[in-house]
Structure 1
Amino acid sequence: MSPGTGPLRADALAKRVPLVFERRSCGAGTKGERRYDWALAEVTWPGGAEDGPRRGFVHLLLVRRSISDPSKIAYFAVHAPTGTPITEIIRVMGLRWATEDCFETAKSDCGLDHYEVRTWDAWHRHVTLSMAALAFLTVTATRTDAAGELLPPAPTDQDKNPETPEKGEPIGPLAN
């Protein structure tokens, strides 16, 4: 809903409310910057938010329109602090692709989707194990070279400090 319009679907609302589109990037993609036309409209939505958004927050409808095909339009419900700039809202929306990619990898490589839910505890354990496996695989992949050989760990601040005792050398009261 938009003030003064009554309940409407997002696409109908976008047609009735005058939207001002701005061309912006929502982040870098595999083929460069992902540029779209974006517009915001202040709205309220039914459900648990009949009294409106929480104090200091606003409900918005974010509309994304393709530059190459203006008939391709996507809608996002936004609950953001009042005064959040459109650039920040668009940046956060751009994170969606990375999240979806992460879940796709977890499903294909770590079996995230190979469990039939029977109890909450068992499901929680399975998801936790799948995501821990994904984290391990991601870290391992970033620490290997093109030939698949494990790279040495990056030097730490302690390794760079010449006053740091050598490995195996006692520190503290035992150093005397």
Structure 2
Amino acid sequence: MVSAADVAARVADRHWHRYRAGQGAKGPRWYAWACARIDDKTTDGCRWLLVRRNLTTGEPAFYRCYAPALKSLMTLVKIAGLRWAVEESFQAAKGQVGLDH
């Protein structure tokens, strides 16, 4: 079995693309993104390992993605970026009901 970090380390420089993952509290969140197919192509749908790399620190983050058909890297990035809106909503709701203490 190959780890996500090993897959990310094998991604050639030309396959990393800089995309915005959405708007953050301090402005747009820019990262380097790459993806690799991780399915055996004999099952239904497509599975990818989406890798986000911090442009300053180089720290990676990983997303396991599935779609019934091929999707572009930009589409996968946009969907991954939606996660922050959900996280921010959870944080706001916790603060409103006093669960942030």
* Secondary structure class of the residue paired with 2:70: coil
Pairwise CA distance, 1:51 = 9.1
* 1:102-159 deviation per Cα after TM superposition (whole angstroms, max 9, x unaligned): 112222323679xxxxxxxxxxxxxxxxxxxxxxxxxxxxxxxxxxxxxxxxxxxxxx
TM-score (norm 1): 0.49
More strand by share: 2
Aligned AA (1:11): A
Q: Give distance in 1, aligned partners of 2:92 and 2:42.
A: 37
Which residue of 56, 61, 68 corresponds with 2:49? 61
* 1:35-65 deviation per Cα after TM superposition (whole angstroms, max 9, x unaligned): 1100010003xxxxx9965x2x200000001
1:77 equivalenced with 2:64 (yes/no): yes
More RCO (CA 8 Å, sep 6+): 2
Give 5+ residue unaligned stretches, structure 1: 1-6, 45-49, 114-176
> Counterpart in 2 of 1:136?
none
> Counterpart in 2 of 1:90?
77
Of all paired residues, the percent bearing the same amino acid is 34
Give 5+ residue unaligned stretches, structure 2: none
TM-score (norm 2): 0.81
How many residues get paired?
99
